[in-house]
Amino acid sequence: MFGAGDGGDSFAWGQEPESPEQEPEVEKKPPPLEDQDLENANLLLLPKDEFIWAVGRAATLRLTQSKVWNDLPHAIHAFGGPLEFTPSEVCRLLQALAYAPADAPMEKKLLQRLFKVFALRAKEFSDERLMRIMYAYGKLSSKRGLSLPRFMDFATSEVVERNSSLRSWRKVRILESVGSLPEAGPEFKSLLLCQDSSEDPYDSE
């Protein structure tokens, strides 16, 4: 559904698209690291945007023993902690971590702190980023057994609050991401399922 952040072949400086039909034009630059150098890269020496790219690229390459995973919490701390990351950066980072191999070492406490950024600053997250946060949580829950009931309670209440403004295709993707989780209550799932049958669920207009 979503890729692992900016871990593609091109180093794209830009934000995630606001709909599946609208891809933003971004300035492409050479990647800051070659793939063969990523295994032993020191994240503490990279600027923040390149750091997030490196995490996404390590996830895309399915590296399990990379130094990236050991440096991850130290690098986030060096940048001032999760609260110093923008909503876009939090989304990109969580998506990258969601795509990391299941046996790549990762601290649950770090994931909890990253998701807490959304809980503390939810109004700064667009509907697109809300959807991506939910997707990352669903993937981490199924892959790593992550369970953050307080986050899920808050996130689902945010979805309910935005129900009238959320586009139908985003509701579908949120439901696909977290609908099977035990934390997703029947009322929440019913709300997302109650769409006007005349509306195209992937209509982005």
19 backbone dihedrals φ, ψ, rounded to 5°: -155, 160
pLDDT of residue 10: 34
pLDDT band at 194 (very low <50, low <70, confident <90, very high): confident
| Parallel, antiparallel or unpaired: strands 27-29 and 11-13 | antiparallel
pLDDT of residue 78: 96
- Is residue 62 scored above 60 in pLDDT? yes
Give, in order, the Cα–Cα distances in Å from 95 to each of 7, 175, 203. Answer: 10, 17, 24
pLDDT band at 3 (very low <50, low <70, confident <90, very high): low
pLDDT of residue 5: 52
Please write the tens of the pLDDT for every residue from 43-61.
999 999 999 999 999 999 9
Please give the Cα distance from 130 to 117 (Å, whole number).
Answer: 12
Q: What percent of the chain clears pLDDT 70, i.e. is strictly above it?
A: 81
Give, in order, the Cα–Cα distances in Å from 86 to each of 29, 71, 190. Answer: 21, 20, 32
Please write the tens of the pLDDT for every residue from 112-164.
999 999 999 999 999 999 999 999 999 999 999 999 999 999 999 999 899 88
- Is residue 8 scored above 50 in pLDDT? no
- Is residue 198 scored above 90 in pLDDT? no
Please write the tens of the pLDDT for every residue from 9-35.
333 333 444 443 344 555 677 888 899
- 123 Cβ contact list (under 8 Å, min separation 6): none
Between 16 and 74, the more confident residue is 74
Q: Tell me the pTM.
A: 0.81
- Is residue 98 scored above 70 in pLDDT? yes
pLDDT band at 1 (very low <50, low <70, confident <90, very high): low
